[in-house]
Chains A and B, each alone.
Chain A
Amino acid sequence: MEDKLKKLRGSMTNTVLSDVTFDQNLERKIHDRIERRSFTSKRNHLGKRFMYLTAAAVLLFALFIGSAFVSPAMAKMAAKIPYLGQYFESENIGYVIHEKLKEERYQISGVGASYQGKKEIFIDIQGDDQYFEKVKNEVQSLAAEILKSRGYDAYSVKVGKYQERILSEEDKKFMQEQEKQAEQDENILTAINKKREEYQLEGLGIDSNKKIIEMEVPNTVERTDEMKQQVQKIVSAHTNESYTIKIKKINMKKRDQDWRWGQILTMVGEDLMGKKVYKVTGLAYSVYPSPEIIFKTSLKSTDPDSKEHAEQLEKVIEDYLKTDEMKEKVKGDSYTITIRSKDQKKLN
Chain B
Amino acid sequence: MINHIKSEAGQHTGYDLIQRKECDLDSLMKEYGQSVLWLAYSYVKDKSLAEEITQDVFISCYEKMDTFREESSIKTWVYRIASNRCKDVLKSRAYKYKKLTQSLFDHYFSTEQTPEDSFIKKSDENELSLKVLALPIKYREVIYLYYFENLKLDEISILLSIKTNTVKTRLHRGRDLLKKMYERGGSHGR
**Is A14 an interface position by the 8 A CB rule?**
yes
Given contacts A9-B147, A17-B38, A344-B74, contact A98 B2 (CB under 8 A): no
A11 and B128 contact, CB distance less than 8 A: yes
Interchain CB contact under 8 A, A95 and B9: yes
Cα-based distance from A345 to B141 in the complex (angstroms): 25
Interface string of A1-33 (1 = CB under 8 A from B): 110111111111111110111100011011001
B20 in complex: contacting residue of A37, A54, A116, CB < 8 Å: A116
Inter-chain contacts of A15 with B (CB < 8 A): 119, 123, 125-126, 129
Interface 9-mer from B25-33, B88-96, B104-112: B25-33
CB-based contact B3/A56 at 8 Å: yes
B126 with A113: CB separation less than 8 A? no
Query: Shortest beta-carbon distance, A45 to chain B, in Å?
Result: 10
Q: Which of A9, A17, A110, A294 is in CB contact (< 8 Å) with B11?
A: A110
CB distance from B46 to the nearest CB of A (A): 10
Q: Are A21 and B37 in contact (CB under 8 A)?
A: yes
Q: Which residues of A contact B7 (CB under 8 A)?
A: 59
Contact with A along B165-185 (1 / 0, CB 8 A): 000000000010011001000
Determine how close the nearest CB of chain B comes to the CB of A204; give it in whole angstroms. 8
Complex Cα–Cα for A4 and B127 (A): 11
Most buried by A among B3, B25, B47: B3
Q: Does A51 contact B (CB under 8 A)?
A: yes
Question: If A12-B129, A59-B9 touch, does A30 touch B55 (CB 8 Å cutoff)?
Answer: yes
Chain A residues with Cβ below 8 Å from B12 are: 94-95, 98, 110-112
A26-B126 contact in complex given A1-B175, A52-B5, C-beta closer than 8 Å: no
CB distance from A252 to the nearest CB of B (A): 18
User: Would you call B125 and A34 a contact (CB within 8 A)?
Assistant: no
B59 and A20: CB pair below 8 A? Answer: no
Within 8 A of A (CB), among B73-132: 73-75, 115, 119, 123-126, 128-130, 132
Q: In the complex the two chains form, is A11's CB within 8 Å of B2's CB? A: no
B161 at the interface (CB under 8 A from A): no
Residues 95-136 of A, flagged 1 when their CB comes within 8 A of B and 0 if not, give 100100000000000111111111010100000000000000
Cβ of A189: which chain B residues have Cβ within 8 Å of it?
Answer: 2
* Number of residue pairs spanning A and B whose beta carbons lie under 8 angstroms apart: 162
Establish whether residues B24 and A55, one from each chain, have CB atoms under 8 Å apart when the complex forms. no
* A1-B175, A14-B125, A26-B51 known; A112 vs B37 contact (CB < 8 Å): no
Pick from A4, A54, A94, A294: contact of B16, CB under 8 Å: A94
Which residue from B13, B58, B74 sits with its C-beta under 8 Å from A30? B58
**Do A33 and B147 have beta carbons less than 8 Å apart?**
no
Selected contact of A286 from candidates B5, B70, B150, CB within 8 Å: B70
Set of chain B residues within 8 Å of A54, measured between Cβ atoms: 3
Residue of A nearest to B35 (CB): A22
The residues of A that contact B182 with a CB separation of less than 8 Å are 1
Nearest-neighbor residue (CB-CB) of A121 within chain B: B19
* Minimum distance in angstroms from B79 CB to a CB of chain A: 14
B47 touches A19 (CB 8 A): yes
Distance in angstroms from B3 CB to nearest chain A CB is 5
Please count how many residues in chain A sit with their CB below 8 Å of the partner chain's CB atoms. Answer: 59
Contact A30 B59 (CB under 8 A): yes
Instruction: Report if A34-B25 is in contact (Cβ < 8 Å); known contacts: A8-B128, A55-B10.
Output: yes
Assuming the contacts A2-B175, A34-B25, A190-B2, asked whether A110 and B33 have C-beta atoms less than 8 A apart, the reply is no
Contact of A4 among B8, B25, B47, B128 (CB under 8 A): B128
Interface residues of A in 46-90 (CB under 8 A from B): 51-56, 59, 61
A-B contact pairs, 26 of them (CB 8 A): A1-B179, A4-B178, A5-B147, A8-B144, A11-B126, A12-B38, A12-B132, A12-B148, A15-B119, A17-B41, A20-B50, A21-B34, A22-B33, A34-B25, A34-B59, A51-B3, A55-B10, A95-B12, A112-B12, A113-B19, A113-B20, A114-B19, A114-B22, A116-B23, A193-B1, A284-B70
Binding site for A on B (CB under 8 A): 1-5, 7-13, 15-16, 18-20, 22-27, 29-30, 33-34, 36-38, 41-42, 47, 50-51, 54-55, 58-59, 62-63, 70, 73-75, 115, 119, 123-126, 128-130, 132-133, 143-144, 147-150, 175, 178-179, 182
Q: Which 5 A-B pairs have the closest CB atoms?
A: A117-B27, A112-B19, A11-B125, A22-B33, A114-B23
Beyond the given pairs A7-B128, A33-B55, 11 more chain A to chain B contacts, judged by CB atoms under 8 angstroms and listed by A's residue number, are A8-B132, A9-B148, A11-B125, A15-B119, A15-B125, A20-B41, A22-B33, A59-B7, A111-B12, A113-B19, A190-B2
> A residues engaging B (CB < 8 A)?
1-2, 4-17, 19-22, 26-27, 29-30, 33-34, 37-38, 41, 51-56, 59, 61, 94-95, 98, 110-118, 120, 122, 189-190, 193, 204, 284, 286, 294, 344
